[in-house]
């Protein structure tokens, strides 16, 4: 019986390793295709036959993850995973702004809002990780070097896709004066950023109160959306795209994938689905949670429907 169990575990581990290798290859290939498409009509370093600025940004995003992976894999820790992602946004954006041969106000605005967002979210996630001491998403993954490498590689693609609209615009050879799209986009970004920051702050304060241990937050933005922070995240990247639109040409329109990717990721992959599943396991039998889930929209803030008593929301 024990030998059969060991054999089954070995086979399962080999399958997971194979899946991880395939994931690494797919993520890297997608990164190459993104870099190629987004580099069209963009400036290059030192002349027309040299490395395009956007391609450099994508390469740097992946390389930073792979370098950070080495000490993380040795120590089998995920403590600096989120911080590395945030630092990648900041460092690569600054790199593009410094190297840009024709820096204009649009590029400066895009660079500034990406850096502000990344600095705020990165510090928030880092401090949350330090308080909790661990991220249960990585409990099994970080014990396998190949699977762990897969996660870091995917983060390189995630950063590149999410920041694509801003980075393509900054690295574009096309320049356009600021117009209504800039101010509309900036307003959308500011609203989304404010929602995300407020939602995170409300939850942090709620969880810091010992009297709320084991409870759900139901005040503020969490009373009108089960995931208001994700709604704000989506809004701000839509705003970034709106600002970038006037300079996009040809294959640079792949920048449209930026907010689309964020929406799909948060609503279908690793955001809402994982948290909803976690909440269902923990509070699925709780009538209060059932009423909350039935009366409160998952994403877009809406007045709560009157179904049962007001309750509390799930935790990250």
Predicted TM-score of the model (pTM): 0.88
At residue 132, the pLDDT reads 65
pLDDT in tens, 29-57: 999 999 999 999 999 987 666 899 999 99
Q: Confirm if 87 and 122 have CB atoms less than 8 A apart.
A: yes
* Sign for the pseudo-dihedral over CA of 20, 23, 29, 34: negative
Q: Confirm if 228 and 199 have CB atoms less than 8 A apart.
A: yes
Whether residue 163 is found in the same domain as residue 208:
no
pLDDT at 271 > cutoff 90:
no
Domain boundary among 174, 207, 237: 174
Q: Confirm if 76 and 143 have CB atoms less than 8 A apart.
A: yes
Whether residue 316 is found in the same domain as residue 213:
yes
264 domain residue, yes or no: no
Higher-confidence position of 25 and 133: 25
Mean per-residue pLDDT, 292-311:
74
Whether residue 35 is found in the same domain as residue 122:
yes
Whether residue 167 is found in the same domain as residue 191:
no
Whether residue 163 is found in the same domain as residue 193:
no
Domain boundary among 149, 174, 199: 174
Mean per-residue pLDDT, 87-105:
95
130 domain residue, yes or no: yes
At residue 36, the pLDDT reads 96
Q: Residue 140 — φ and ψ, nearest 5°? A: -90, -35
Whether residue 118 is found in the same domain as residue 183:
no
Mean per-residue pLDDT, 12-35:
90
Whether residue 206 is found in the same domain as residue 137:
no
pLDDT in tens, 129-172: 777 655 556 667 777 889 999 999 999 999 999 999 999 999 99
154 domain residue, yes or no: yes
Whether residue 153 is found in the same domain as residue 200:
no
Mean per-residue pLDDT, 66-95:
93
63 domain residue, yes or no: yes
**CA distances for 214 relative to 30, 208, 293, 314, angstroms:** 41, 12, 17, 10
Whether residue 167 is found in the same domain as residue 200:
no
Whether residue 3 is found in the same domain as residue 15:
yes
- What are the residue ranges of helices labelled H in 143-268? 145-162, 164-170, 180-208, 228-244, 257-264
261 domain residue, yes or no: no
Domain boundary among 147, 174, 201: 174
Whether residue 152 is found in the same domain as residue 186:
no
Whether residue 1 is found in the same domain as residue 42:
yes
Mean per-residue pLDDT, 67-84:
91
Higher-confidence position of 92 and 13: 92
Q: Confirm if 64 and 87 have CB atoms less than 8 A apart.
A: yes
90 domain residue, yes or no: yes
pLDDT in tens, 206-265: 888 888 887 778 788 998 999 999 999 999 999 999 999 999 999 999 999 999 999 999
Where in the sequence is the domain holding 8, given as residue range(s)? 1-174
Beta bridge mates, 48 = none
257 domain residue, yes or no: no
Structurally, the chain folds into a number of domains equal to 2
Kindly report the average pLDDT of the chain as a whole number.
Answer: 88
125 domain residue, yes or no: yes
């Amino acid at each position: 019986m024990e030998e059969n169990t060991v054999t089954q575990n070995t086979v399962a581990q080999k399958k997971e390793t194979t899946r991880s290798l395939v994931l690494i290859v797919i993520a890297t290939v997608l990164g190459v295709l993104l870099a190629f498409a987004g580099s069209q009509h963009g400036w290059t370093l030192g002349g027309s036959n040299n490395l395009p600025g956007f391609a450099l940004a994508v390469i740097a995003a992946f390389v930073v993850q792979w370098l950070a992976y080495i000490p993380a894999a040795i120590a089998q820790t995920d403590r600096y995973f989120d911080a590395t992602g945030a630092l990648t946004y900041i460092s690569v954006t600054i790199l593009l702004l410094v190297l840009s041969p024709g820096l204009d106000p649009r590029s400066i605005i895009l660079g500034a809002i990406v850096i502000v967002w990344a600095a705020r979210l990165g510090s928030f996630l880092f401090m949350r990780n330090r308080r909790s001491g661990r991220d249960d998403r990585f409990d099994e993954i970080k014990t396998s070097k190949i699977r762990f490498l897969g996660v870091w590689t995917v983060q390189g693609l995630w950063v590149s896709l999410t920041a694509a609209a801003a980075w393509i615009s900054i690295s574009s050879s096309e320049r356009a004066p600021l117009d209504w799209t800039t101010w509309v986009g900036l307003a959308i970004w500011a609203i989304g950023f404010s929602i995300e920051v407020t939602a995170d702050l409300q939850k942090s304060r709620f969880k810091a109160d010992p009297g709320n241990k084991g409870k759900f937050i139901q005040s503020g933005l969490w009373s009108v959306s089960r995931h208001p922070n994700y709604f704000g995240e989506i809004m701000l990247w839509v705003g970034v795209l709106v600002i970038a639109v006037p300079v996009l040409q040809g294959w640079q329109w792949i920048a449209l994938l930026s907010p689309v990717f964020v929406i799909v990721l948060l609503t279908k992959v690793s955001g809402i689905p994982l948290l909803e599943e976690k909440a269902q396991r923990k509070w699925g039998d709780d009538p209060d949670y059932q009423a909350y889930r039935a009366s409160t929209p998952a994403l877009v803030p809406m007045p709560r429907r009157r179904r049962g008593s007001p309750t509390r929301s799930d935790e990250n």
